[in-house]
Structures are given as structure tokens and as C-alpha cells.
Amino acid sequence: MTDDSSGRIAAALRAWIGDAPPGSRLPSTRALVTEHGASPVTVQRALTLLRTEGLVETSPGVGTFTRRPREARPSDFSWQTGALGAPARRIPSSPAALRSSGDEPFALHSGYPDVELLPERLVRAAFGRAARHDAAMRRAPSAGLPELRAWFASELAQATPRSATPPTARDVLVLPGTQTGLSTAFHALVGSGRPLIVESPTYWGAIAAAERVGVELVPVPSGPDGPDIDELARAFARTGARAFYAHPNYANPTGAQWSPALGDQVLDLVAAHGAFLIEDDWAHDFGITTDATPLAARDGDGHVVYLRSLTKSVSPAVRVAGLIARGPARDRILAETQAESMYVSPVLQHVALDVVTRPGWGTHVRGLRAALRARRDALVDALAAHAPQAHLASPPPGGLNLWLRLPDGADARHIAASCERRGLLIAPGDEWFPAEPPGPHVRLNFSGPAPDRFADAMRILGSVLAD
Ligand SMILES: Cc1ncc(COP(=O)(O)O)c(C=O)c1O
């Protein structure tokens, strides 16, 4: 009997409990075993599930009963107001990209690709192998499994020109996702109260990590071709910032990919100001019409701290990322990582390494390119046909999103809420701006479920905008 069977029995009992008055006795284990053709263990598992949900209570030797309502007084948390005081900084919470969808038929808000875009077979087989490996019972070194660190280093080394020194496994730290890496890097490289230059718009999670660490964000406008280089130069000169956080490949949310010339200009600026570029290569595997070319590959002197996530392309359940840094910066980040999370589960590292070193991985990434292209183009076409009021600067060369400018005067949050009432989830653009948004935007993710219904989804957006 599988856990699915206990889930099915629990579901049947939930319906039964819904109709029964409080204090009713549930059928005995033996009766449930007969009724569902399940083992006693499976039935017990279902009952445990219902107990943890607070739906039933068991009196040993007597039976299991539907729960009687407690006459508890409402909790009084008011003392916490005095204990906590007003927050020094408000970390944005509940971003649209992290919302689970409910019954809404159209979910274009999420930050994670649908299962059909993941290497499911490779991941499931890798978990099977990892369960039988020593990794299941040991801890990992703080910096990560040596083989996985070597893989991250060799991937970047392949993009490194002959004139630069390629990274080695020693330069790599394995992290439990890049989100942790952002807080750690901001803390170790910038520090509380000091300036960090960011593109505007930029990833909401980077804004949240910066708030958490207490760094002062310095926004620089960024469009479909990347950041405005003159504004960036002015920001470095004006603030004395020693770090710039950016997405040179397929920026989230705009989808911009920097030209090689812009990349050179930014690297020169960063070097001239004795600063770090914190390069978040979040969409490395999501090239559509181009390939991601990390700027870190062109840096030999430790100016670029490179973050490379596997979460979105391997599986959201395998939260593993690599951070590549050189010199004392690497040691500081490692010390912070040890203080924060000690090490990443070796099982997850093992699974990640297993997946990315199979021949099937390359085949998967090539197939993904075609699948993303078909989805991107389908959404672009649906948008043009049914919601032409929303302006797309150009189809992104990679990534998972379309970034749309709404007509002047539109309220992005209001539009998102109206779409949601009609069954369409989208992400209001305000969350990606470190300061006031210069105009209303929304982000549509084309890697979610039901791409065959993009036209229906865009009809909803079109009619909400027309209203
Ligand atoms: C730009 C960017 N950086 C980092 C992350 C976080 O990635 P991870 O899942 O590796 O923590 C995301 C996730 O949405 C992202 O979009």
C-alpha cells in the first residue's frame, strides 16, 4: 500500500467527518480495512493524518472521534507589539511569484517552471540512487561536495576566454539556493547601512534580501537592453558604492541580455571603482534565441561574484546553487555561510550532481529551449491578439517572463486583482521596483501550466484593461 492509499482513505474520511456531528465515533480500524481493502498500517496512517489536521481525536482503547469544538479564549498577542517595537525595515512579504495557485485556471504569476519543463525522469532516478548512497546518512563539507564544486567551476571555465584564469573547484561554494546567497553576499560584501547599486526593476527577492541585511539600495534604471551605463557611472561616483547586483543574462523581470560591449563597460566601471559585480545568473539554462554568457568568465581579479542556481532548471525541490568568488571575498562568504546554514544536505547535492552529469541533461536543456520558445511565442501572439493595450518592448531572448508596460494611469495591483477575480493570476510589477515604479507594469510567466490556454488568459487581461 502506498501513501497515496492513506491519502485517499483520509480524503474519504474527511468527507464523512464533514457530515458527522462533533464527537461521532469513526468506523473501527477493522471496518476501514475491509471497506477500503487497505492494510491496518495504511488506515492508521490516514487516521494520523486526520489527527495532525485536528479533525479527530483518539481515546486509546475506546476509539477515534470527530473533534469537539474547544472553548478556548482567543489568543492575546498584544504583548508582542511592545516586545518587538516598530520594525526598523519592512521586508516585503507574500510576493506574487511565491503564491500557490488555488482553483484559478490561469496561473501566469509564478516564478517556477511547470513540471513538464523539468527533467523529471532524471530527478526521480537520481533521488533513488541518492537514497542508497552514503550521502543519505552523512553531512557534507561546508563549501559543498568536491565533485559538485568541480562541476560548477568547469561550467564557468568552459566560457572563460584564454586570456583569463578559469575558476577552480576551490572558488565554488554550494548554497541552499541563490536566495540565501544574496543575503550572504550582501552582508559579507556590502554590510548594513552601506550602498548597493541595483538595476531598477530588479528581482523582488534581492530587494527583500537587501532589506533584511540593511544595505541601502541605489537604483539605476534598466530597460530591454540592460542598465543605463551613464546612470550607473553616476551612481558609483555619487555614492561610493563598492557593489552592483545585476542580471546580465535574461534579467528578471525584463528579460534583457546585455550586449558584449555593455558587459565590458560595466566590468571596466566596476574595476575602476574597486567594486564587486554580484552577477545572478538565475536563468542560465533558459536561453531561447541566445545563450547565457556569464560576465564572471571574463573576470580574473575577483571583481565578479557569480551565482548560478539549479533550482528552477533541475527541480524546485532540489534547492542547490553554486556561488563562485575569488580572494578574501570567497573566505568571508564561506564564513557567513557556515554561520548561517553550516552545509547543504548532501542528498540534494548528490541529486543535483547526478542530474547535471548525465547525458540526458544536455538533451533536456536543448529540448527546453524549444519548449520555452514555443510558449514565449504563443503568449506574445495571444497578447497581441487579445490584450494589445499592454506593451511588450520586445520578446525576451531568454528567461521565463514577459514584462509588460500597462497604459498610463492603470493601477497594476488593481489590474492583477481584477484578473484574479476572473481566474487569471498575474504578478503586479510594483514588487520589482526598489523605489516608486515609474509606470504600471505586470509580469507574465510563460513557463507555468496550461500554455494551450494562453489565448483565454490574454482575453481576460484584455477585457480587464478595456474596463
Ligand atoms: C533573479 C533571481 N535570483 C535568485 C532567485 C532565487 O533562486 P533560488 O531558487 O536558487 O533560491 C530567483 C528566483 O526566482 C530569481 O528570479
In this prediction, residue 3 has a pLDDT band, given cuts at 50, 70 and 90, of low
Count CA atoms closer than 13 A to 175's CA, side-chain side: 29
Q: Do 220 and 249 fall into the same domain?
A: yes
- Of 247, 258, 193, the closest CA to residue 224 belongs to 258
Q: Do 280 and 305 fall into the same domain?
A: yes
Burial class (CB in 10 A: 0-12, 13-18, 19+), 171: buried
* 288 assigned to some structural domain: yes
Residue 290: domain span? 120-357
Q: Per-residue pLDDT tens for 296-346?
A: 999 989 999 999 999 999 999 999 999 999 999 999 999 999 999 999 999
Residue reference for cell 503586479:
428
Distance (Å, rounded) from C-alpha 383 to C-alpha 462?
A: 8
Q: Do 177 and 43 fall into the same domain?
A: no
pLDDT, residue 163, reads 82
Which CATH number belongs to the domain containing residue 297 in this structure? 3.40.640.10
Average pLDDT estimate for 371-397: 97
Residues ≥6 apart with Cβ < 8 Å to 90: 211
In this prediction, residue 219 has a pLDDT band, given cuts at 50, 70 and 90, of very high
Centre of ligand 1 to C-alpha 300, Å, is 25
Number of domains composing the chain: 3
Q: Do 25 and 150 fall into the same domain?
A: no
Identity of the residue numbered 263: G
Q: Do 341 and 384 fall into the same domain?
A: no
Centre of ligand 1 to C-alpha 204, Å, is 9
In this prediction, residue 100 has a pLDDT band, given cuts at 50, 70 and 90, of confident
Residue 99 has pLDDT above 60, yes or no: yes
Which CATH number belongs to the domain containing residue 40 in this structure? 1.10.10.10
Residue reference for cell 457530515:
19
Q: Per-residue pLDDT tens for 52-97?
A: 998 999 988 899 999 987 777 889 999 999 999 988 877 776 677 7
Residue nearest to atom 7 of ligand 1 (CA): 178
Please identify, among 357, 386, 412, the residue that sits at the C-terminal boundary of a domain.
Answer: 357
* 252 assigned to some structural domain: yes
Q: Do 431 and 395 fall into the same domain?
A: yes
Show the ligand 1 pocket: residues with CB < 6 angstroms.
111, 177-179, 203, 205, 247, 252, 280, 282, 309, 311, 321
Q: Do 335 and 224 fall into the same domain?
A: yes
Of ligand 1's atoms, which has the minimum distance to the CA of residue 252?
Answer: 1
